[in-house]
Amino acid sequence: MTTRLRTLPARLAGNPTGRAPEPVTVTVARVVRPELQDAFEQWATDVQDVVATFPGHLGSSLLRPGPGSDEYHLVYRFADDASLAAWERSAERRAALEEVRRLVENERIARAVGLETFFAVPPRPGPAWRSWLLTVAVVLVVTTSFQLVAVPFVGDWPWPLRLVLSAVYVVSALRVLMPRLSRRFAHWLQGSRRR
C-alpha cells in the first residue's frame, strides 16, 4: 500500500516506474554527399543553435567523418524523454529535416538512455573487442586512481563503505569519461573499413 502511494504521483505524471527521469542521447548518422559537406556543416551549426533554445537540452555536437568516410554524427542530449519529445515534435525540427534531405544519401538514428550513453556513437559493424578493450583500459585507470588517491584516506573505513565509495567513484568517472573517449576513438571503435 505504501509503495503504491509513493509511486502514484509518478504514474500520474506519466512515469509509471517512479524512478527519476534519465538523460537521453540521440545520435543521427548521415552519409553526406561529398560535394555538399560544407552546406551540411552550416546546416548542422544552425540546427545546433536552434535545438539549444529548447527546454531540457543538455548539449549537442557534430562528429565529422574519419578518413575514407562521408558519415557525420550529430549528437543531441536531453534531460529526459519529455524534453526530447518536445524537440522531435517541433516545427523547427520538421523544417530542418526537410532542408537536410537534399544534402544526404543515407541516415541512421540511435537512442541511448542513462548508462547506455557511455557509447554515444551509434553502433556500426566493428570489432566488439575494441569497445571491450577501451572499457577495460578506462576502468583500470579509474580504479587505480581510486586506490592511489582515496584508499590512504578511507583505508580504515568498514569494507562495505569503501566498496560503496569505490562504486560511486568508478561509475561517476565512467559517465564523464566514456562518452568523450568513445567520440574521440569513434573511428577506431567502428573499424577502419571503407564504405
**Residue pLDDT, tens place only, 78-124:** 989 899 999 999 999 999 999 999 999 888 887 776 554 455 444 44
Higher pLDDT, residue 102 or 12: 102
> What pLDDT band is residue 10 in, cutting at 50, 70 and 90?
very low
Same domain, 11 and 83: yes
CATH number for position 65: 3.30.70.100
Domain boundary among 106, 123, 140: 123
User: Residue holding cell 577502419?
Assistant: 192
Same domain, 117 and 132: no
- β-strands 71-78, 57-63: how paired? antiparallel
Number of domains in the chain: 2
> What pLDDT band is residue 20 in, cutting at 50, 70 and 90?
low
How many residues in the chain?
A: 195
3-state helix, strand, coil in the chain (%, to 5): 55, 15, 25
Cα 42 off chain centre by: 23
For 84-88, which contacts have Cβ atoms below 8 Å and span 24 or more sequence positions? 84/24, 84/26, 84/56, 86/54, 86/55, 86/56, 87/51, 87/54, 87/57
Lowest mean pLDDT among 8-12, 16-20, 120-124: 8-12
Same domain, 113 and 168: no
Cell numbers for 91, please give them: 516545427
User: With 0-12 CB in 10 A as exposed, 13-18 as middle and 19+ as buried, what is 3?
Assistant: exposed
* Residue 64, pLDDT score: 87
Same domain, 75 and 161: no
Which residues, in sequence order, are bridge partners of residue 63?
A: 73
Same domain, 2 and 79: yes
Same domain, 175 and 193: yes
Same domain, 105 and 43: yes
Same domain, 140 and 51: no
Lowest mean pLDDT among 80-94, 143-157, 175-189: 175-189
Higher pLDDT, residue 193 or 87: 87
Same domain, 92 and 154: no
Domain boundary among 123, 146, 163: 123
- Kindly tell me if the per-residue pLDDT of 63 is higher than 70: yes
* Residue 46, pLDDT score: 94
Same domain, 16 and 82: yes
Question: Exposure string (b/e) for 45-67, b if CB count within 10 Å is 16 or more?
Answer: eebbebbeebebbeebeebebee
**Assessment of whether the complete model's pTM goes beyond 0.75:** no
Percent of the chain whose pLDDT exceeds 90: 27
Domain boundary among 123, 140, 170: 123
> What pLDDT band is residue 47 in, cutting at 50, 70 and 90?
very high
- Kindly tell me if the per-residue pLDDT of 65 is higher than 90: no
Same domain, 150 and 90: no
Same domain, 79 and 139: no
Range of the domain at 75: 1-123
* Residue 189, pLDDT score: 76
- Tell me the C-alpha distance between 30 and 104, whole Å: 6
